[in-house]
Amino acid sequence: MKNLSLSSVLVLIATSATHPQEAVQWKVSDGGNGNWYQFNRVPGGICWSASRIAAEQGGGHLVTVTSAAENSFVIAYTNANNPGVFTGGPYLGATCENAPWGQWRWVTGEPFVFTGWGAGEPNSGENERYVHLWRWGSLWWNDTSECGADSYIVEWSADCNNDGVVDYGQCRDGTLPDYNGNNVPDCCESGTPCVVGNYPVQWRVAEGGNGHWYQLISEVASWAGSRGSAQARGADLCSITTSAENNRVLVLVSRASVWCNDGAGYWLGGFRQEGQWRWTTGESFSFSYWGCGNPGDVQTHIQWYRIPAGCPPLGTIVWDDQFPEGCPALQGNPGFVAEWSADCNGDGIVDYGQILQGQLVDADANGVPDVCEVDPCPGDITNGGTVDAADLSILLAAWGTNGQAEFDTDIDGSGLVDGGDLALVLGGWGPCPQ
């Protein structure tokens, strides 16, 4: 498979069951480069060319290791995600394909100066022109064949707007918009100025997520007020049901700069009813992320909480129970996490993302596609499930008025109950569509 065609590579990508791990950043504060890394396992195996294309389609590239410090970071990350003995991966972004064997280069064009070869490597000649990690007690580099591994590492290093921050992290935390989910800020693709702000982000299915959209909203309000604000956006307060979802939402909350002095923070959709904790969505309350000593016996709603002292350590962000009125000093909490999950047209895609990408129209900006707000049975004035004599009688009784009585009989919104409304009743006569 040395001369794998592009179409064959794409088929391999499409049919391989990739299991990505949580991406991590090698932080500048830790002596790193600010880049992001992600370990991807493909149990059925994957070819180097396929892994390279998969990495680039995700806005990154196969990892390039250009210093001893980066090599140590990559090895530690690999060990954390792939413990035990293995010999078949992950691929690095080094190759000597289309060149004399031994003329190694990085896919990014970076100088191939630092190396981490194992003893006697590289040693296999013409048939092994690619590099992966190999374990002999510890991890070393090894040359391998085109299809000799079962995993690969993606690295994101691009900074398209030259603000000194790697784009992937900004797409991930919502400081730059990435509504098409390709890990490249939309502003860089459109050529418009990149304005750092607070944008919705998606927990993508390809990353093991649920396809929902999340946003940290800074808006002082009680729990009920925050929920009303979320619903006005077509969302609800965020409900967290797994550790993975919690980690994803925590990325957004960690950016928050405004917290109450006592650590009170941002509302979630959890509340206690009849002694049981519940989510507003009705999802199972089987996962929790309480800080030590919580929840107590009195407070009834869940917030993100930044611990000002005590345990766990200062600054740790956890769940906390709170009174529904929120922080007394602010007369409410500083904000909430909104979650969009609705799929009103049943196409398997969360509506809000389709609105953001311009695929569905939301002219009234309420977070619900206009097509989903069309009443399929406008003549059913009584909401009885059938357009019948009762609806006709009510309409005729309101004839010539504005229709704003017990029932809304101005069906077409013209300001007057007239022939237009009568046509909607007569035209929809009979059972309403299911």
Where are the chain's structural domains? 6-156, 167-194, 202-340, 386-431
Length of the chain measured in residues: 434
Average pLDDT over residues 376-383: 89
CA quadruple 24, 25, 27, 30: dihedral sign: positive
pLDDT surpasses 90 at 251 = yes
pLDDT surpasses 60 at 9 = no
pLDDT in tens, 205-215: 988 899 999 99
CA quadruple 123, 129, 131, 137: dihedral sign: negative
CA–CA separation, 324 and 301 (whole Å): 6
Classify domain 6-156 at the CATH superfamily level: Mannose-Binding Protein A, subunit A (3.10.100.10)
Q: Return the structure tokens found at 162.
A: 């030259």
Q: Return the structure tokens found at 155.
A: 């690295």
Q: φ, ψ for residue 432 (rounded to 5)?
A: -75, 155
CB atoms within 10 A of CB 216: 24
Q: What is the pLDDT of residue 17?
A: 61
pLDDT in tens, 56-82: 999 999 999 999 999 999 999 988 877
Instruction: Name the residue among 43, 119, 30, 122 with its Cα closest to residue 76.
Output: 30
CA–CA separation, 265 and 297 (whole Å): 20
Tell me which fold the domain 202-340 belongs to. Mannose-Binding Protein A; Chain A (3.10.100)
Which residues have C-beta within 8 Å of that of residue 84, sequence separation ≥ 6?
A: none
CA–CA separation, 380 and 434 (whole Å): 13
CA-only gyration radius of the chain, Å: 28
Average pLDDT over residues 14-23: 65
Domains 6-156 and 202-340 agree in fold? yes
pLDDT surpasses 60 at 10 = no
Q: What is the pLDDT of residue 299?
A: 95
CA distances from 103 to 95, 98, 111, 134 (A): 8, 10, 12, 20
Exposed / middle / buried, residue 390 (Cβ in 10 Å: 0-12, 13-18, 19+): middle
Q: What is the pLDDT of residue 116?
A: 92
CA–CA separation, 66 and 113 (whole Å): 7
Q: What is the pLDDT of residue 83?
A: 61
pLDDT surpasses 50 at 1 = no
DSSP state of 372: G
CA dihedral angle for residue 185, residue 188, residue 190, residue 195, rounded to 10 degrees: 70
Average pLDDT over residues 380-399: 92
Amino acid in the structure at residue 193: P
pLDDT surpasses 80 at 19 = no
CB 167 within 8 A of CB 156: yes
CA distances from 425 to 392, 403, 431 (A): 7, 14, 12
Q: Return the structure tokens found at 5.
A: 């065609």
CA–CA separation, 242 and 285 (whole Å): 9
CA–CA separation, 242 and 123 (whole Å): 46
Q: Return the structure tokens found at 177.
A: 């918009």
CA–CA separation, 408 and 386 (whole Å): 16
Q: What is the pTM of this model?
A: 0.79
Which residues have C-beta within 8 Å of that of residue 394, sequence separation ≥ 6?
A: 381, 382, 407, 409
pLDDT in tens, 288-309: 999 988 999 999 999 999 998 8
Q: What is the pLDDT of residue 136?
A: 66
